[in-house]
Amino acid sequence: MSKVKRRGFLAAVALAIPLTVAGAPAAFATAEPEIKVSGGLTQPTFSYKDAIREHVRVRSSVDSDGDGEKDLVRVDIIRPKESGSGLKVPVIMQESPYYDDR
């Protein structure tokens, strides 16, 4: 993927995540999660098993296949269920053309 195409893809993904998460109910978190440190390392706070999984498609700003249409990019979002009540959590983003398992 060229630098220009990659930049457009990253921009589309970066826009999709906040827009999708912003669609969560506009309530306030009841309590901040407790951050636990053991042996100098932070410990897991949220359950991966209970996480909310969302799949959205976002129109990118590039036409990488030259068909005259801007690319449609799939974005998979996995977030803690606690973020549905307005809790803000950091984003870890991994972009790759190899993750699409439709």
Question: pLDDT tens, 30-67?
Answer: 567 888 999 999 898 899 999 999 999 999 999 999 99
SS3 43: coil
- Whole-model pTM over 0.75: no
List the beta strands (DSSP E) in 4-98. Answer: 37-38, 41-42, 52-59, 72-79
Least confident of 3-12, 52-61, 74-83, 91-100: 3-12
SS3 68: coil
Q: Is the pLDDT of residue 20 over 70?
A: no
Q: Which residue has the tokens 């098993």?
A: 49
Nearest one of 49, 45, 100 to 76, comparing CA atoms:
100
